[in-house]
Amino acid sequence: MSFADDHLVPLVDEGLGNSSYLLDLGDGRALAMDAGRDLRALRAAAERRRLHIAFAADTHLHADFLSGAVQLGHDTGATVLASAAGRRAFAHQVLVDGDEVDLGGLTLRALATPGHTDEHLSFLLLDGGRELGVFTGGSLIVNSAARTDLLGAARTEELARAQYRSLKRLTALPDETAVWPTHGADSFCSVQPGAERATTIGAQKQANPLLAAPDGDGFVAQLVAGLGTCPAYFDRLGETNRRGPAVLTAQPALPDLSAQPALPDLSAQQVRALMADGGHVVDVRPAPDYAAGHLPGSLSIPLCDQFATWLGRLLPDTAPLAFVADEDQDLSEIAWQAYKIGYERLVGRLVGGTDTWLADGSPQATTASLAAGRAAGRPYVDVRQESEFAAGHVPGAAHIALGALSEPAASAPAGPIVACGHGERAMTAVGLLERAGHRDIAVLDGGPADYATTHGRQFAQGAEGIHS
């Protein structure tokens, strides 16, 4: 059994594509690495092992989630470990390159590895003089490196060159050194997708295509070419993490969930008033339920692993939010996913759902889901990501990626058939189009390949037609 098998608990957020870690220090204490604001899984893992969290370290100022380090400092007295260059505005032990923290038998050494962010640190875990593993955050990740455009396009290349130097430094560690990244598959901070979330230095020397680049110029070109768009909320969370997220206080009525956010019941009148005042309604039911009947202008974001990501991509954090949910859906999960990316203006949920809405005399909208054979004659709007569209699309399709649809929705063609890969993102697009004044919207039941095959059309490739 390896050290990691016995002492390290990875905690994966499948929706954000990130891993945090609970490190058992062997004496009843633990270190939490890159913990998010939703600490439920971390707390449960610590409780199972009867561990007290004594340290909370952050590799960088996260842009894709709010850090849980401040909360851990408040709740458990954990010492927060972070880069001095981050200028954090709360109590923490500041670290610079080469600083070491005695964990009681083990040692944590700070390694400056800028690139993903300016102040990025990796943390090398040592047992005496032996390198056990390195927490690499957003520097070296499995078969890639994290994006370098978080501080704006003007600095992307500069930070990519810093990332090149950081990866060279990390790969000078012994081949057997374990690599424990924060960013991984499905993270918007990652460049390349992949299923593995941990690796070794030696494995990365063999498999990471960025490390095969002949020089820094080649590395930069390859890394930057893989960058896609990232959610708008990335622009603000780094600063929120620098200031320190607000501490949430536990509610005694819910002892199993520390700092439980609540969703009060709302009447139909209250929801109408919220919408009239610029608020938004998010329908978290499965997409077919939304299609069968929904509040006009509400946005379908089903409660699944990716809920927080789409909430952050499509709605501002400054407007109040109300929710429509099925009675058996977990309201606490809605709140936690919103809270972990800094959405705190959660007014409540429509009690009784669409039945209450209809009983109050308010109209509802429905959305047809059409098989490819019934979709002929409608303008075809493809809301998949740019890379998906370029890989293969229906000829003549109008492309507006879902994450970029809010502003150009008004200029979308009238009476469209909206398509994605399976229909869920297309149903989300319906609400954006309705809010822009569109009616008679239908969603394709299936994907572009179904449509092309049914209508005898050859798939087109390339970026022609992309609007983003």
Give the pair of three-digit tokens for residue 246.
């607000």
**Residue 358 and residue 360: Cα distance in Å, rounded?**
5
The residue from 189, 230, 304, 420 that is catalytic is 420
Asked about 304 being catalytic, the answer comes back as no
Interacting residues of 420 by C-beta distance below 8 A, sequence separation 6+:
382, 383, 384, 402, 426, 429, 447
**Residue 369 and residue 373: Cα distance in Å, rounded?**
12
What is the arrangement of strands in the sheet containing 466-467, beginning at the earlier edge strand? 368-370, 442-444, 417-419, 380-382, 398-400, 466-467
Taking the alpha carbons at both ends of the chain, their separation in whole angstroms is: 49
Residue pair 347/280 in contact (Cβ under 8 Å)? The answer is no
Helix (H) / strand (E) containing 386: helix 386-391
Residue pair 180/21 in contact (Cβ under 8 Å)? The answer is yes
Q: Which of 312, 432, 279, 322 is nearest to 367 (CA)?
A: 432
Helix (H) / strand (E) containing 373: none
Residue pair 348/264 in contact (Cβ under 8 Å)? The answer is yes
Residues labelled as active-site residues:
420
